[in-house]
């Protein structure tokens, strides 16, 4: 399982406080799942699991999502040791 990538977008002028979390996890049958969770900071988020046949394809999908969110104004949140699940 990879470390999660946590992104946040906060804009008080628009009352916006959002998070986006992306992570890869191997499946029992040799594939890889990209897990993403998003929502308003401080509330339960929506979760989606996308399955891929290989780690390379999953990594490519994860990077595409990450770049998309950075273009939309999200910023990477550095992980501290106590935040890792």
**Confidence class for position 78, pLDDT limits 50, 70, 90:** confident
All structural domains of the chain, each given as residue ranges with its CATH number in brackets, are 5-77 (2.20.140.10)
Side by side, the strands of the sheet bearing 5-11 are 46-52, 32-40, 16-26, 5-11, 75-76
Q: Which two tokens stand for residue 5?
A: 């990538």
User: How much is the pLDDT for 82?
Assistant: 46
Has residue 70 got a pLDDT over 90?
yes
**Confidence class for position 40, pLDDT limits 50, 70, 90:** very high
For the chain, the average pLDDT equals: 88
Has residue 68 got a pLDDT over 90?
yes
User: How much is the pLDDT for 83?
Assistant: 52
């Amino acid at each position: 399982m990879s470390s999660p990538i946590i992104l946040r977008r906060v804009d008080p002028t628009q009352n916006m406080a959002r998070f986006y979390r992306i992570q890869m996890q191997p499946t029992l049958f040799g594939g890889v799942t990209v897990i993403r969770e998003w929502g308003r900071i401080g509330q339960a988020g929506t979760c989606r699991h996308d399955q891929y046949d290989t780690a390379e394809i999953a990594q490519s999908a994860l990077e595409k999502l990450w770049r998309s969110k950075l273009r939309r104004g999200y910023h990477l949140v550095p992980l501290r040791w106590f935040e890792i699940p």
